[in-house]
Each structure stands twice: as structure tokens, then as C-alpha cells.
Amino acid sequence: MLQTRRSFLATAALASAGAVIGLPASPALAANTAVRMSAPGPGTAGAIWKPLIESGIVKIPPELDLSWIQGNPGQVQLQLTAGAVDVSAYGALGVAEIAPRGSDIVIFAPSTNNHGRWIVRGDSSFKTPRDLIGKKIATQPESSDTYRQARLAGLLHGFDLKKDFEVIFGPPTSNLALFSRGDVDAVITIEPTATRLIAGGAREIAKVGDLWHAATNDPAPLLLIGYAGRRDWVEQNRVAVDALREVLIDLNRKIKAKPELIAQQHKAYGIPDNERAAIDLLPSRMADLYAVDWNQAVFANLDRQISESVKAGILPAVPTKPVYLAALAGAGQ
């Protein structure tokens, strides 16, 4: 409906009156808000975030002062709980697991969907994870969400990583070396390490996300990790946190919209120029793992992860506080 001159003047008058009587305005970012971020290292999907942000591909509010501290899966979570960083990658199961110990962490933005892959040698006889029961497997540390979700997905299918396999824990680059030397029969690894192995002739026999979907019929992507902070810090810096969420989601949107960025950043992943086959596979295998949704469907997925873990005996109980900050993306909260 067209606005009449009279209604326009009335609206303008109300706006003017609001300014005079001091109606609440949208909160503004404090100048020079320092945010210490964990920077995932080579062999991880998050290795490209720092170089892409520093390239200027996304607009960062000038008030946000980002600094980076290097870390690996499992280590970056410890950095956050120890107070060495303000923001780090964390999964719902990790947050729920440490809550009874007095750590109060909350996830406030999406990071990556699950990209754990069961990988075996190309000439092996293994076809499913069950075929590897009793065998040696290398994977990320027990404190990593890759391991937690891989164990949960296995339990939903009747096998337990903790009891049914000989598991060796380490960062992705170490797992790659163990597999290459023949010291383990398989790896449950993340991208881009999985792609490097596939390009070298290895076989992918299962995806953790697919195992989850088959067991739960949950249509939402299995969110592996989100960006998280200590709850007191998040509450004290809500305006900065909300602004940072939009920056990080925008970054992942740009990666998904232009997946060739993934191949261009191969050195940040730790992939040398001479691994051309792996580099060429990166965009098609990795674009979908960068999560862009932060909404009720994601929150329901995180709640489901926790409830299934309680039923499986991984977690003793559902945490008393939500593991995520239910502030919707783009809501300007």
C-alpha cells in the first residue's frame, strides 16, 4: 500500500520523537574489541580461514581486532578451556563432555559439517568399518570432535571404537604418515588429508556423516564443530560475538559459492604443488563441509547429537545449559 503524505509525516514525527526521548538504539561495537582466535593448522579444513580472512575476501568491522594462535584438532579445544584464546572450534559433544568438570563453553556460530572419512588402502579387502574390528586404526585425539562423532556413529551401528579396535591417536599429518608406512590398517581422518589419500590410490569405505544419517534419519547436516567461546566471555562481548558470527558465516558462504578458492589455498592445507591430483579433487570433495546455517534445524541437530550420546552411554546426562547460543544468523541480535 502506498504511504500517504499524512502517514509519512506521522512516521517521521514518531521517529524524531524516539530520538529525542532516547528510545533504545542498536548496540554498537566497542572500539578495538580484541578477539584471540585459534588458527587450525595444516591438514585441517580450517587451515584456510586465517589466510582468506587476511586476504580481505570478507569485510571485518574495523572495531574487531582479530589475532591468531596456531593449534591442531584436540589442541584448539584445550586452548579455549585454558583461556589461551577467546574463540576456538568446538563440537556439541565436546562442550557437553566437559560441562560437568566446570568448563562453561558455548557455541555461537557454525564452522564445519562432519568430514570424517574411513580410509583403507586401495588393495585391501576391507569394505565396511565392521571389517576392521580388531584392526589398528589411526584417528584424531580423543579430545577431538572427529573422534567423538565417529565413535557415536559407530555405536549407533553396533560397534565401539573404544572397545572393538586398536586406536592410535594423533593429528592428521601424523595419521597420514602412519597410514603411508603401513603401521595402521585404516584411518578415520578429516579433509583435506582424506582427499590426499584418495588421490594417492586409497579407498573411502564410509563417511561418519552418512553413518549418522543412516542410523537417525536426521536430514540436517551433522555439524562437526562450531565457533565457541567461554560463556562469560561471550555474554560480556555479545555485540562483538554477533558481528563475528556474520563474518564467519559470510566467509563460509564465499567458499561454497567459489569452491576454486579451496584449491587455490592448497598450501595453507599443507598440500604441496606437486600433488596435482589431490588439488584438483579438493573443490568437489570439500565445498559442502563449510557450514553456513545457524538456525533452528542446526540447534535441533546439536540437541540430537547430545541425546543420542546419552542413550549410547558416551555422555552421563544432558547438560543443564544449552551448548549453543540460539541467536539466529542475520537477526541483528
319 vs 19, more confident: 319
Q: Which pLDDT score is estimated for 79?
A: 85
Q: What was the pLDDT predicted at 65?
A: 92
Helix (H) or strand (E) holding 118: strand 117-120
Q: Which domains does the chain have, with CATH numbers?
A: 33-113+224-312 (3.40.190.10), 117-216 (3.40.190.10)
**β-strand partners of 225:** 112
- Mean pLDDT rounded to a whole number for the chain: 89
Asked if 299 and 326 count as a contact pair (C-beta separation under 8 A), the reply is yes
Q: What is the pLDDT of residue 67?
A: 93
For range 19-33, the mean pLDDT = 54
Max distance between CA atoms of the chain, in angstroms, equals: 80
87 DSSP 8-state letter: B
- Average pLDDT of span 217-227: 94
The grid coordinates of residue 208 equal: 561418519
Cell of 327: 541467536
Quick one: angle between helices 208-216 and 145-156, nearest 10?
40
pLDDT in tens, 88-136: 999 999 999 999 888 899 999 999 999 999 999 999 999 999 999 999 9
Q: What is the pLDDT of residues 234-275, one digit of tens each?
A: 999 999 999 999 999 999 999 999 999 999 999 999 999 999
Which 3 state secondary structure label does DSSP give 291?
coil
pLDDT of residue 27: 59
